[in-house]
Amino acid sequence: MKRYILISLILATSWACTKTIDFEDNGIGNLIVLNSIIFPDSCVSGSISQSTSILKGNGYGGFIEGSVELYENGIKVGQINPLLGSFRFTDIKPKTGNTYKIVVTSSGKQAEAETTITNPAEVISVDTTSTSNEWGNLLNFKIKFHDSSEKDYYRIVVTNENMVRLTNLNDEIKTRYYINQYSSSFTSDDPVFKSVYNNFGSDIIDMGPDNRYGIFPDDYFQGKDYFIQAWMTGFNNDYPTNNSTYFSHQVYSRRIIQVEKLSKEYYNYMKYLNLYDYYHEDPFSEPVPVYSNVKNGAGIFASFNDEAKFSFEKIYIPFSMDTITVEKQQNGYGYGGGY
């Protein structure tokens, strides 16, 4: 008898705690969504779409029709009607120090956002050394740069670039050259990377996500010179691939280290996007909204400057670009190396 009374009390408590809440998200579900990341000497491009209710599928409302206006330092420099939601101002190359604004008009609604192209990072030196441990070869790099007196935001991006020579025995054109590019991860104990999410804890206590975008502010060194040390896997050995059809050899392997200066909008976008990816499936965490600087809309319009680039390479087969034709380039990284 006591058992039945206990079960009845549990059921009654459950029913008593149930409450239906009317949720209205028409405002959230019908916003213009603008996505565009710009940087110097590359055309301004992006996409526009419309959000939909979070109660319907993945919340993506599809591409929309409308017009996109582009302003440079307050002066209108272009207007275009996107095709299938995509737009590209091919004749306009963003310049360092200039402010750009995009205004999107669609179905009587208007959204806008602006960003300023920052100056490049003031890198003083980049030094590399090679070491080995039980995990294999390591490429260590040390970056020294000078920070301005203003509030700045940075990102370290490492890209691998490999050229492969492919000889096909069953093809009239026997030898071809291919270039493959992809982003490369690195490891660093520098506190500037950990400070973004304050994750100075151990594996036992969850102190936040890893800084997978390699971003950091200048909170620790504003207006001063600063050193950053990091390491990654070393250059791969040249492993030829041979069979009855073709021979494949690596011509060179190159590492490109970029010290990017980010706009505040781009820094905040990547910071909270990483938080969202880390927590959005955790039922015990607080909701994490992804940062947006689009007025009367959603999405992101931001910028960065990646003019501070340094490359280090290992050549396996001597070559000259004057006598080589690259057939195809394969890219393995996204918008600005990590958008």
In a domain, 214, yes or no: yes
- Which letter does DSSP use for residue 65 in this model? -
Over residues 113-133, the pLDDT tens digits come to 999 999 999 999 999 998 887
Q: What angle do CA 219, 306, 35 make, to 5 degrees?
A: 90
82 plus 154 within the same structural domain: no
Which pTM value belongs to this model?
0.82
- The pLDDT of residue 98 is 97
Over residues 39-81, the pLDDT tens digits come to 998 999 999 999 876 655 555 568 888 999 999 999 999 999 9
103 plus 192 within the same structural domain: no
- Residues of the chain above pLDDT 70, percent: 79
The helix or strand, by DSSP H or E, that contains position 265, with its residue range, turns out to be helix 264-279
190 plus 333 within the same structural domain: yes
69 plus 202 within the same structural domain: no
Q: Provide the pLDDT confidence category of residue 4 given band limits of 50, 70 and 90.
A: very low
185 plus 200 within the same structural domain: yes
Q: How does the average pLDDT of the chain come out, rounded? A: 84
53 plus 200 within the same structural domain: no
- The domain in which residue 89 lies consists of 25-116
128 plus 111 within the same structural domain: no
110 plus 127 within the same structural domain: no
- The pLDDT of residue 145 is 96
SS3 231: strand
Last residue of a domain, one of 83, 116, 149: 116
Last residue of a domain, one of 77, 95, 116: 116
131 plus 214 within the same structural domain: yes
In a domain, 273, yes or no: no
In a domain, 274, yes or no: no
- pLDDT score of 140 more than 50: yes
Number of domains in the chain: 2
- Which letter does DSSP use for residue 336 in this model? G
83 plus 213 within the same structural domain: no
Whole-number CA gyration radius for the chain: 25
Over residues 215-268, the pLDDT tens digits come to 999 999 999 999 999 999 887 666 666 666 778 888 999 999 999 999 999 999
> Domain holding 91: CATH number?
2.60.40
Token couple for 219: 């909170």
